[in-house]
Structure 1
C-alpha cells in the first residue's frame, strides 16, 4: 500500500469513527468522499481484501441487495453490504474501508448495490465474481438518458470484468443486445402457459427485438416490458431460464407467496415486482451453492428494508413507506396498493434533487387514475415539488387534496387522515426527510441512514 493510499484509508476510517462512535450518526458516503479525495485510486488498494457481487439495474436494487445478503449469510460467515443505498463510488469506498477484517483468512463476500452510471467506475478498480442485473426502465432522464444509454453504461462496466458471471433478468429483452464474453445465467417467470400472442401497450419502452428492432410479441407480460417475448420476424425469443417463478399463490400489500422452481416461498413485502427481486436473490444464492432450505430461512426474516415498504406505527396509524422514482415503479406500487382490502389514505411526496432526478415529468406517465378503483379515502400531496404532484393528481380526478408544502407538517397530515392505513409514495430525498422527521419524533430509530 502506498503512502497516499495509507493516508486516504486512515482518514476515511477516522471520519467514520467520528461520525459513528462519537456523533452517533450512520454514514459511509463522507468517509468515502474523504478517502477518494486524498487518493482517487484507493478503491483498487482495498479491493483485494474481498470477493464481490455487484447488483445493478433501474428498479429493485436495494431490496434485491438486502435479500441477496440475507441469502448468502445463510452459507457464508462474512458477508458485507451497503445497506442504505449508498451506491456510488464514494459510498462503496466507504463501505469497504469500514468493513471488519476477515476472521478466518477467507475473503469476505461484498454484496454491493451499484448505481447504473457507476458500474464502469467501480469495475475499473474491482473485478467481481458475479454481476446481478434486475431490469432497465426509463428513469432520471437528466442522468441516464433513454434506456439504451443506461444499458450501455452497465455493459461498459461488465466488459471490464470478462471473467465474472452475469445473472440477468431473462424476461427483459434488452439484455439480449450485448456481445459479452461473460457466462450468462437468466431468471424470470414461467408461471403461465406460453400460448398467447399479445403486444405491450404502445408507450412501453424496451420492446424492440435486438436482431432487427421489430416490435416484440409476448406469450404473457408480467409488467412493463417484462415477460415471455418472441419475434414474429425471425427466431429470436426469450432465452432459457435457469431459475424461474413457476406459480403465484397470494399477493397482498404486505406479503407475497409464490413458487420458485416448484418450491414454495414467502416474502414479507408486497408487489409482483418484489417477487422478481426475491427471484434474483434466489438465483445468486443457488449459483453460489445456498440450499433451498437456507433460502427459505433467509426469506422468512421480516426485518425492514430502509425506505422500501417500511411499516411504521404513528400513534393509531399503520404507515407504509414506498420509494417511487419512475413510471414503472409507480405503476407497480399502484398495483400493490390495489391489493389492499381496507380503506386507506395516500400521501404523495415529490422532490426533484439530484438523487431523485430533477426531471419530474415521469409522474404523467404513471397510471394514478387506476387508484379510483381502490379503497382510497383521502389524498395528500407534499414535498418540494408538491405543486407538480397536486396538478397531476387533480388531472387524475383527485380534486380534493390536502396540501402540505412543508414536509415538517407531514406528521400532522398523517395523524389527520380519516383511515387507519396510510400509504406514502415518496421520492428518495423526500423519503429521507420523512424518516428524519419520524426519527426526531421517536417513531423510528435513525433517520437519514447516510
Structure 2
C-alpha cells in the first residue's frame, strides 16, 4: 500500500464520516471523487479484498442489487453494496473505499454493486468481476447512452475486460444473445405459460430490441411478459430464446404491495408489487443459487419486509399510505402504470419530473409513456411537480387529465400529499426528484434517510 493510496482511503473515510454521521446525508459520491482525485488507481489496489458482482442494465438495478445482497447474506456471505443506487464510478469508489472488509467463516466478502451502464467498462478495467448480472436494455437517457444497441456495446466492452467472469443475463431479452465475448453465459427468464396457451405472433410495432441477432429480422413471440421480454423465435432461421438455467414457472398473484410466484417450482413472495419486479427477484434467485445459497434461504430473504431506497417505498404521512416509485423511461413508467392498474382502492398520483444529468436531460420520453391507461384505474386525483413540471403537466393534459394540482416548489410536497383526497397516494418521481422528495420527508420526520 502506497502513501498516496493510504491518503486516498483516509480522506474518503473522513469525508464519509462527516457526510453520513454528522450531516446525516448519503455520502458515497463525494468520498469517491476525493479518493480518485488523490489516487486514480485506488480501485486496482483494493480488488484483492473481495469478489465482485456487477449488476447493470436499464431498469431494476437497485432492487436486484438489494435482493442479491439479502440472498447472499442469508447464505452466510459478508456483502458490500451501494444501497442508495449511487451507481457511477465516484459512488462505486466511495462505497468500496469506505466499507469495512473482513472475512466471514473463511468466505471471501462479495461486493454486489449496481453499476451504471456507461461505467461498466471503467469498473471492470480496474476490478475483475466474478459475475456480471444483466437485467434488461430499454431506451433510456438517449442524451447519455444513445440507442439500445449502443448501450449494450458499452456493457460488452466491460465484459471483455473480464473473460473469466460468468455473464448471467435475462434470457427473455433478445439483445443479450448478441455480443462477441468468450465468457460463460447463463440465462434466466419466464416459462410460466403452457405450450397449449402460446399465441405466436410478430413482435409489436414501436418496440425496441426485437431484432434477431443472426439476420436482424423482426422476431416473433410465443408470449410476451412486457415490452420486448418473452419467449421469442425467428421465422427466417433456427434462432430462438436460449435455454434457461433459472425460470419463473408460475405467477400466482400480483398486487401493488406484493407478488406471489414460483421459480423452478419453488413458491416465493416478495413484498413489492409489479410483474417487472419478479424479474429482479429471478435474477437474485439465480445469483444465490450460483453461489450455492439454498432455495429455502432465498425464500426467507425474499420475504423480509425491509424497504428498498426509493424503489416502491411505503411511507405513512399522517395517515396517508404513500408509495414512492421511480420512473425514468417509457418502459419503466409503463410497468409502474400497469402496477397501478392492479390497485383496487381509490388513489391519487403525484408525478415529479426533473431533468438533471442523473435523470437524463431530455424529457421527450414522457410522450412514449402510456399515461392514458390510467383512465382504466381507480385514480381519483393527479398532481404534478418538479423542475420540469410544465412538461409533465402538458403530457398529462394531453392524456386527458386536465384537472391537475401543480407543486412547482418541492418544499411544499408534504403539504401536497396531505391535500390529495385519497388515503392512498402514489408518487412517481425521476431520480433527482426522488432524492429531493426524500429529503423533504426526512426533514418532516417521516423517514430516517435523506439523500
- Give how far 1:16 is off: 1.6
Output the CA distance in 1 between the equivalents of 2:14 and 2:121.
28
**More displaced 10-residue stretch of structure 1: 131-140 or 12-21:** 12-21
- Give how far 1:386 is off: 0.4
Q: Which runs of 5+ in 1 are unaligned?
A: none
Q: TM-score, normalised by structure 1?
A: 0.98
Question: Does the CA contact (< 8 Å) of 1:345 and 1:418 recur in 2?
Answer: yes
The answer for the alignment partner of 1:34 in structure 2 is: 34
- Give how far 1:200 is off: 2.8
Output the CA distance in 2 between the equivalents of 1:277 and 1:331.
17
The answer for the alignment partner of 1:397 in structure 2 is: 400
Output the CA distance in 1 between the equivalents of 2:64 and 2:404.
34
User: SS of the residue aligned with 1:124?
Assistant: helix
1:297 equivalent among 275, 297, 300: 300
Question: Does the CA contact (< 8 Å) of 2:9 and 2:98 recur in 1?
Answer: no
Output the CA distance in 2 between the equivalents of 1:337 and 1:24.
33
Question: Does the CA contact (< 8 Å) of 2:25 and 2:450 recur in 1?
Answer: no
The answer for the alignment partner of 2:47 in structure 1 is: 47
Output the CA distance in 1 between the equivalents of 2:177 and 2:147.
17
The answer for the alignment partner of 1:276 in structure 2 is: 279
The answer for the alignment partner of 1:158 in structure 2 is: 159
User: SS of the residue aligned with 2:152?
Assistant: helix
1:328 equivalent among 304, 328, 331: 331
- Give how far 1:321 is off: 0.3
- Give how far 1:308 is off: 0.4
Output the CA distance in 2 between the equivalents of 1:50 and 1:33.
21
User: SS of the residue aligned with 1:322?
Assistant: strand
The answer for the alignment partner of 1:127 in structure 2 is: 128
The 5 A counterparts of 1:334-349 are 334-349=337-352
The answer for the alignment partner of 2:259 in structure 1 is: 256
Output the CA distance in 2 between the equivalents of 1:107 and 1:14.
26
The answer for the alignment partner of 1:72 in structure 2 is: 72
Question: Does the CA contact (< 8 Å) of 2:349 and 2:379 recur in 1?
Answer: yes
The 5 A counterparts of 1:195-214 are 195-214=198-217
The answer for the alignment partner of 1:3 in structure 2 is: 3
Q: TM-score, normalised by structure 2?
A: 0.98
The answer for the alignment partner of 1:137 in structure 2 is: 138
- Give how far 1:446 is off: 1.7
The answer for the alignment partner of 2:111 in structure 1 is: 110
- Give how far 1:14 is off: 1.8
Question: Does the CA contact (< 8 Å) of 2:24 and 2:450 recur in 1?
Answer: no
User: SS of the residue aligned with 1:67?
Assistant: helix
- Give how far 1:179 is off: 2.0
User: SS of the residue aligned with 2:25?
Assistant: coil
Output the CA distance in 2 between the equivalents of 1:4 and 1:375.
59
Change (3 A) 1:421 1:179: same
Output the CA distance in 2 between the equivalents of 1:291 and 1:204.
38
Residue 216, structure 1, aligned to residue 222, structure 2: no
Residue 446, structure 1, aligned to residue 449, structure 2: yes
The answer for the alignment partner of 1:87 in structure 2 is: 87
- Could you list the per-position Cα deviations for residues 1-31 of structure 1 after superposition, in whole angstroms to 9, with x for gaps in the alignment? 2222222122112212222333333311111
Question: Does the CA contact (< 8 Å) of 1:70 and 1:298 recur in 2?
Answer: yes
The answer for the alignment partner of 1:385 in structure 2 is: 388
Q: Which runs of 5+ in 2 are unaligned?
A: none
Question: Does the CA contact (< 8 Å) of 1:86 and 1:92 recur in 2?
Answer: yes
- Give how far 1:269 is off: 0.2
Question: Does the CA contact (< 8 Å) of 1:200 and 1:224 recur in 2?
Answer: no
Output the CA distance in 2 between the equivalents of 1:23 and 1:389.
33
User: SS of the residue aligned with 1:121?
Assistant: helix
| Matched length | 448
The 5 A counterparts of 1:213-252 are 213-252=216-255
- Could you list the per-position Cα deviations for residues 211-270 of structure 1 after superposition, in whole angstroms to 9, with x for gaps in the alignment? 001000000000000000000000000000010001111000000000101110000000
The answer for the alignment partner of 1:314 in structure 2 is: 317
The answer for the alignment partner of 1:15 in structure 2 is: 15
The answer for the alignment partner of 2:96 in structure 1 is: 96
Output the CA distance in 1 between the equivalents of 2:101 and 2:241.
42
The 5 A counterparts of 1:364-379 are 364-379=367-382
User: SS of the residue aligned with 1:336?
Assistant: helix
